[in-house]
Amino acid sequence: MSQMKDKKHELNLDGTDDCASSNLRRVSRSITTFYEAALRPAHLRPTGFTILVAIAKSEPVAIGSLASELLLDPTTVTRSLQLLQRMGLIEISARSANRRRFVTLLPKGRRTLSRSVPLWRQAQGRLVGKVGLGFWKELQAELEKLAFTATELTIPNTELKGRSVPRERNGSLKKP
């Protein structure tokens, strides 16, 4: 037992409690659990809800564009889309002439979104009501800055093709 304590003290873990990644993931898990409970009556998880909303706002939307909008890897988005497709909520087109695939909501997806939005609004209202609208708006702006900064810091170090990053129409990075 004393050997384990000695080894534990050999590590210098100063500053790790302030890790942006672990702190944001911890908060994200808590928020996700809250929205999962809220959306459960509609048989939809928060990820599915977010994707359906993004599709509804831009349909038909290319999978790559959807991935960029959501700041997700295209492969991750494709896996989530396949689940929504199996549920009968969306349709994914065959590849177009320029090798892009587009996503649209099916009637069942629209009905599911119709049932989900009021549940989401209720949950969102409860959360924002608890923390305060001013705090929420400031936090939202700060989170956008963090997303932009992390993306900007990642790009020079990333050699992966097809990496999803938020960009303006002219190709420059989106600024919060």
What's the confidence (pLDDT) of residue 81? Answer: 95
DSSP state of 11: S
- The angle at the Cα of 173, spanning 168 to 176, to the nearest 5 degrees, equals 90
| Sequence-separated (6 or more) residues with CB below 8 Å from residue 57 | none
What's the confidence (pLDDT) of residue 172? Answer: 45
pTM: 0.77
pLDDT tens, 26-76? 999 999 999 999 999 999 999 999 999 999 999 999 998 999 888 888 888
What's the confidence (pLDDT) of residue 36? Answer: 97
Identify the segments of the chain with pLDDT beneath 70.
Answer: 1-9, 96-97, 156-176
What's the confidence (pLDDT) of residue 151? Answer: 81
What's the confidence (pLDDT) of residue 73? Answer: 85
C-alpha–C-alpha distance, residues 51 and 47, integer Å: 6
What's the confidence (pLDDT) of residue 159? Answer: 41
Do 71 and 166 form a contact (C-beta atoms < 8 A)?
yes
What's the confidence (pLDDT) of residue 120? Answer: 98
What's the confidence (pLDDT) of residue 99? Answer: 78
Q: Of how many residues is the chain composed?
A: 176
What's the confidence (pLDDT) of residue 147? Answer: 86
Question: In CATH, what class is 21-131?
Answer: mainly alpha
